[in-house]
Homo-oligomer: A and B are copies of this chain.
Amino acid sequence: MNRLQACPAAAARCSKCAVRRLAICAALEESDLGEMDEIMTHKHLDAGQVLLLEGDYAAYVANVLKGALKVFKSLPDGRTQLLRILLPGDFLGATSRDHYGYSAVALTDTELCLLPHRPLVSVFQAHPELEESVRAHIEDELAEAQEQVLSIGRKTALERVAGFLLARRQHALRVGNSVDPLKLPLTRSEIGEYLGLTTETVSRCMTRLKTKGVISLAPGHAEIVTFNDVERLSDLASAGVPA
**A145 (CB) vs chain B CBs: closest residue:** B145
Contact A154 B124 (CB under 8 A): no
Which residues of A85-99 are within 8 A (CB) of B? 94-97
A150: contacting residue among B75, B78, B97, B146, CB under 8 A: B75
| A146-B83 contact given A96-B136, A97-B139, CB 8 Å threshold | yes
A155 in the interface (beta carbon within 8 A): yes
A119 in the interface (beta carbon within 8 A): no
Q: How far is the CA of A60 from the CA of B189 in the complex (A)?
A: 41
**A125 (CB) vs chain B CBs: closest residue:** B128
A131 in the interface (beta carbon within 8 A): yes
Q: For A76, what are the chain B residues with a Cβ–Cβ distance below 8 Å?
A: 238, 240-243
Q: For A96, what are the chain B residues with a Cβ–Cβ distance below 8 Å?
A: 132, 135-136, 139
A54 in the interface (beta carbon within 8 A): yes
A63 in the interface (beta carbon within 8 A): no
Q: How far is the CA of A125 from the CA of B154 in the complex (A)?
A: 41
A222 in the interface (beta carbon within 8 A): no
| A149-B150 contact given A76-B242, A96-B135, A96-B136, CB 8 Å threshold | no
A26 to chain B, nearest CB (A): 13
Contact B97 A238 (CB under 8 A): no
